[in-house]
């Protein structure tokens, strides 16, 4: 992407899909030695952790890209509540799921509506040069305090590098 952006002069845009459920994360997943401990796993907590990690990653990547002077941006977003197949991982009976879907109907977004902020960040001239930000409904929004923590973003970056080093050693 860096080479293409430099060669063409067209800014590249990296977009991480997150979620407002990142507010539920306490960032306790930053322990390389226990990250795969099945006894501590909770799928809803893990989902919140993963969405916080997506925001932190975009923020750290944005910082590194700026420092390099590359013609790339990195942002994250909450697409809204979109009825996708993610519910197949929730252990709810079909009747309860149908009731929840009916009650949630007023706040659900269609798939095109959920994709609108992604398309906005990828294509709209108003966000040219905007980087390291979080968006909801095609507008910049303020994520959780943890998601704005630059030290935590760097810690995640270093944590990810450590995981990669460990996995490369296992492959060798």
Distance, CA of 18 to chain centre: 3
- The DSSP symbol for 27 reads S
Nearest to 73 by CA among 88, 86, 59: 59
d(CA 29, CA 170): 21
Half-sphere exposure of 85 (CA within 13 A, CB side): 0
Radius of gyration (Cα) for the chain, nearest Å?
Answer: 18
Distance, CA of 167 to chain centre: 22
d(CA 42, CA 110): 28
Establish whether 41 is a catalytic residue. yes
**Strand 134-136 vs strand 12-17: parallel, antiparallel, or unpaired?**
unpaired
DSSP 3-state assignment of 10? coil
Catalytic residue among 41, 47, 64, 134: 41
Residues with a known catalytic role: 41
């Amino acid at each position: 992407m860096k080479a293409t952006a430099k060669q063409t002069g067209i800014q590249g845009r990296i977009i991480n899909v997150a979620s407002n459920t990142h507010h539920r994360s306490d960032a306790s997943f930053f322990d390389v030695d226990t990250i795969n401990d099945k006894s501590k796993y909770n799928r809803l907590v893990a989902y919140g952790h993963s969405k916080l990690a997506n925001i932190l990653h975009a923020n750290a990547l944005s910082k590194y890209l700026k420092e390099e002077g590359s013609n790339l941006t990195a942002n994250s977003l909450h697409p809204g509540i979109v009825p996708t197949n993610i519910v197949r991982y929730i252990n709810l009976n079909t009747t309860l799921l149908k009731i929840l879907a009916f009650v949630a109907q007023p706040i659900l977004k269609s798939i095109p509506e959920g994709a609108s902020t992604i398309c906005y960040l990828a294509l709209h001239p108003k966000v040219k040069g905007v980087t390291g930000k979080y968006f909801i409904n095609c507008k910049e929004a303020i994520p959780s305090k943890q998601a704005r923590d630059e030290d935590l973003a760097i810690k995640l970056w270093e944590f990810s590098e450590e995981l990669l080093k460990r996995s490369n050693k296992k492959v060798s």
